[in-house]
Copies of this chain bind each other. A is one copy, B any other.
Amino acid sequence: MQTHFGPLTNPEKLSQRICHVLEDAIVKGTYGVDKRLPTEAKLCETFGVSRTSLREALQHLKSRGLIESIAGRGMFVRALTQSFLERDLSLFSKLNDGEDVFLEFQDFRLLIEPENARRAAANKNPQCIAALKDSLARMDVSLNDLPEFVVADIAMHLRIAREAENRFIEIILSGLKPMGEDYGRHSYDSTSLMRKAYREHEQIYRAISQGDVTTAGNAMHDHLVSSIEDYRKLLSKKKSASSLPKKRHAIKK
């Protein structure tokens, strides 16, 4: 027989309750950025909890970048820096790689990056152009060093992304850097593919440095599309290679 009762909701741990109170206060702006929080001793007294539990709550806030503690000075409210977001996105990248995710990832880039290239071409920022030239050179000398090649590849994409002058684009693509590099290491399975990518990057660079908005966007678009196609081919090749032998083995038996 079924009752209409669900399982009792686990009461929140002490540290979590403390955490919520503090977080609310910080988000609401009770303590301004860079202001000092009350000392641990005072907070313990205020909440009526042990230092252990209080510190556990503080630790959680620290982990998320809301506060920083300095030995001998105190605890300070910090503006959540982008680097924390990037750190988590980057951890997500590391933990969620895989063939299907890669395809979604490239699909996502396809939405964003052509526009980045267009804006970079519109900006014609000399610093950007110099940086892109440098990345290209690094790709060129790394044609026989896949990891290094990939790093230069992604660095170039990120430098272009900066020209979009949109913090969301910048943060998100930066955070996904590990995934981009991982994708690169998986997708470039031959030197000829790397050469092809180099040529495509070269075209992107040329369009941007000439301020040719349309061509830059198209070049970026084509580059990503061709990369996706090559990766799809690679996957189907791998699949048939891993399934055919199985069959033969079965027949032999």
Given the interface pairs A59-B56, A80-B95, the reply to whether A168 lies near B88 with Cβ below 8 Å is no
Which of chain B's residues has its CB closest to A70's CB? Answer: B10
Q: Which of the segments A106-114, A142-150, A221-229 contacts the partner chain? A: A106-114
**Interface hits, A64-117 → B, CB 8 Å:** 64, 66, 79-80, 84-85, 88-89, 91-92, 94-96, 101, 104-105, 107-108, 111-112, 115
Distance between Cα atoms of A52 and B55 in the complex (Å): 10
Which of chain B's residues has its CB closest to A23's CB? Answer: B91
Interface residue A169 (Cβ < 8 Å from any Cβ of B) = yes
Among B59, B63, B94, B104, point to the contact of A167 (Cβ < 8 A). Answer: B104
- Are B79 and A85 in contact, with the CB atoms below 8 A? no
- Are A168 and B63 in contact, with the CB atoms below 8 A? no
A92 to chain B, nearest CB (A): 6
Copies of this protein chain in the complex: 2
Interface residue A60 (Cβ < 8 Å from any Cβ of B) = yes
- Are A166 and B63 in contact, with the CB atoms below 8 A? no
- Are B27 and A94 in contact, with the CB atoms below 8 A? yes
Residues in B neighbouring A63, C-beta threshold 8 A: 59-60, 63-64
Interface size on A, residues (CB 8 A): 35
Q: Per DSSP, are chain A's interface residues mostly helix, strand or loop, or mixed?
A: helix
- Are B96 and A80 in contact, with the CB atoms below 8 A? yes
Interface residue A172 (Cβ < 8 Å from any Cβ of B) = yes
- Are A168 and B105 in contact, with the CB atoms below 8 A? yes
- Are A168 and B95 in contact, with the CB atoms below 8 A? no
Q: List 16 A-B contacts (CB under 8 A).
A: A27-B94, A52-B52, A56-B56, A59-B59, A59-B60, A59-B63, A64-B88, A64-B91, A80-B96, A85-B89, A88-B88, A104-B167, A104-B168, A108-B168, A111-B111, A172-B172
A38 to chain B, nearest CB (A): 20
